[in-house]
Amino acid sequence: SPQGKSTGLINVRSGPGTEFGTVAALNPDEAVDIVGKNPAGDWWQVTVSSGATGWVFGQLLQTSGDVSSVAVASDIPTPPPAAPAAEAPAEVAT
């Protein structure tokens, strides 16, 4: 399967975006297996040496192997809700 190598100290996240929490960290030049991608193709789903699976921003990995064969992951989590925006209080009928 295609491999990736981290280009620095990078976070492995629970989903494809910086709004997701960190599940692991990669040291520089640490190898991972690339097992999936998000629909936009800018995040890789990877398996790290501990066996944990998470997501890494694609530009932070040096890839090897046939990454064109990597399929879109079927288990992509939805982003956590953003911090609520300040909204006007709802009108309450009296």
Question: Tens digits of per-residue pLDDT, 12-31?
Answer: 999 999 999 999 999 999 99
CATH (residue range 3-66): 2.30.30.40
Res 83: pLDDT: 64
In which band, very low, low, confident or very high, does the pLDDT at 79 lie, cut at 50, 70 and 90?
confident
Q: Where are the domains of the chain?
A: 3-66
Q: Return the higher-pLDDT residue of 92 and 49.
A: 49
Question: Tens digits of per-residue pLDDT, 31-60?
Answer: 999 999 999 999 999 999 999 999 999 999
Nearby residues of 29 by Cβ (< 8 Å), 6 or more positions away: 5, 6
Give the Cβ contact number of residue 84 at 10 Å. 6
pTM to 2 decimal places = 0.84
The answer to whether the beta carbons of residues 79 and 17 sit under 8 Å apart is yes
